[in-house]
Amino acid sequence: MDASRPPTLFVAGSTSHTGLALLHWLHSAEALAFANAHQAPIQTSSAASSTTGARPLPNLSGLSGLSKLVGTAGPAAATAVLSTTNVTVTATSAKEASDATATPSVPVAEKGLPLRIIAGYNQVSKAHVLQNLKLVEKAVHIDYDHPDTIDDAFHRLGPIDYLFIVPVQSNSRVQYLSTLLDAALRHRRVRYLVLLSTLPSRRPSGTSSISQTTPEFLFQKESRELERLVGRAAIPYTVLRCAPFHHSLVPLVERAVRDACADSGLGIGAVKLPVRDGAFAPLDVRDMAVVAGKLFLEYPSIHMNKALELTGPDLLSGVQLVSQISTGMSHPVRFAAIPLADFAKVLFATGIALELYQPGSQRLDGPARDSSSRILCGDATAL
């Protein structure tokens, strides 16, 4: 690597909520201050396979939302938890959050951040998002069905050092990730990657296991397969296993309010979630962005070749979650527990469903599940 240039970050999935959150944070004063305080010496490509001299991520507290890092799992294929890092997080005020996103962005290089940012997008209809926000130096369209477009992007953009990967919205996500990793390996310059993944559902001891025909099992199976692909790619990595994101609930709440208003405005709309006895801890997407950004800005770190699990601070039942939502709205809403297969249809009706869960898909075959599913509430725009 040319020591005279800053490392280049390629964000694959840059127009998703998660990708945009990372781009916004990298343009923040917090990111610049962190980079100035903790910038690691630029490494050569030969050092990519080693974590010698790696430092832990300092100050993971004080993230932008209400989340916390709850654990550090070993290599993605491993099941043992190596350590637990319970980090208390301080939330910013609504005004601070608004100010952070309202300020017009300028190219990262102009703000002195030691990072060159390139964006990859697979939906041409969303290219204007990157153009209007001016969050990246360059943006390039990549078509996973045509691997040559990915190879071409890697060659035209110059050396790419880091990858942030948001799995695409498709039944073919495993194959698409394999295609991207193959291109990265052919490029021979990628030193580190971060994969966005999902937090596994955990059941209390004594409860039945997940049926291998349910959407939850199939979705989690694919998430773990994505992690295994990354673990076998011979590129140092970190997996971010994220709890469901707050913003994923917005379309569900909007639908509940619309349904209630359609009933002469007298009814109380129902936020429908596949949660009965279970609970989950929603995550602020900005917190994910802070953790991902710090991983890149302080390369290398002790979190290489590990999976970090990110959740919100409070474990909430469906009733508790919707109660908090209702408190913050002018129109009350209530919680309604529904089977997982029915929830897939709700996601489709709201326009945020994955191809994976559209009505009629073979992936909906099998018995519906009534207990908690924390995975389907995730970043549906990206995953």
349 occurs within a structural domain: no
- Pick from 118-127, 146-155, 221-230, 374-383: least confident: 374-383
pLDDT average, residue stretch 149-165: 90
Beta-strand ranges (E) seen in the chain are 8-12, 68-73, 81-83, 116-121, 138-141, 162-165, 192-198, 237-242, 269-273, 279-280, 306-311, 316-317, 333-337
Alpha carbons 6 and 164: distance in angstroms, whole number: 17
297 occurs within a structural domain: yes
What is the per-residue pLDDT across 262-278, written as a single tens digit (0 to 9) for each? 655 556 788 888 777 77
pLDDT at 77: 25
322 occurs within a structural domain: no
Burial class (CB in 10 A: 0-12, 13-18, 19+), 197: buried
Q: What are phi and psi of 72, to 5 degrees?
A: -130, 115
pLDDT at 350: 62
Per-residue pLDDT at 307 exceeds 90: yes
pLDDT at 2: 60
Tell how strand 68-73 and strand 306-311 pair up.
antiparallel
- Pick from 61-65, 139-143, 297-301, 347-351: least confident: 61-65
155 occurs within a structural domain: yes
3-state secondary structure (DSSP) of residue 23 = helix
pLDDT average, residue stretch 9-20: 90
256 occurs within a structural domain: no
Identify whether the C-beta of residue 150 lies closer than 8 Å to the C-beta of residue 180.
Answer: yes
What is the per-residue pLDDT across 86-105, written as a single tens digit (0 to 9) for each? 222 223 222 333 333 333 34
Per-residue pLDDT at 378 exceeds 50: no
- We report the CATH number of the domain holding residue 38 as 3.40.50.720
12 occurs within a structural domain: yes
Comparing CA positions, the residue from 328, 252, 244 lying closest to residue 283 is 244
333/219: higher pLDDT: 333
pLDDT confidence tier of residue 112, bands split at 50, 70 and 90: low
378 occurs within a structural domain: no
Tokens 């017009």 label which residue? 104
pLDDT at 57: 35
pLDDT confidence tier of residue 162, bands split at 50, 70 and 90: very high
Per-residue pLDDT at 55 exceeds 60: no
Per-residue pLDDT at 79 exceeds 80: no
Alpha helices in 57-140 (DSSP H): 94-102, 127-133
- Domain boundaries, position 137: 8-246+282-314
Per-residue pLDDT at 191 exceeds 90: yes
- The total domain count for the chain is 1
133/216: higher pLDDT: 133
pTM: 0.71
Cβ burial 338-374 (10 Å sphere, 16+ → b, else e): bbbbebbbbbbebebbbebbeeebebbebebbbbbbb
pLDDT at 368: 26
Per-residue pLDDT at 61 exceeds 80: no
DSSP state of 330: S
124 occurs within a structural domain: yes
pLDDT average, residue stretch 185-212: 73
Tokens 């010496």 label which residue? 41
pLDDT confidence tier of residue 203, bands split at 50, 70 and 90: low
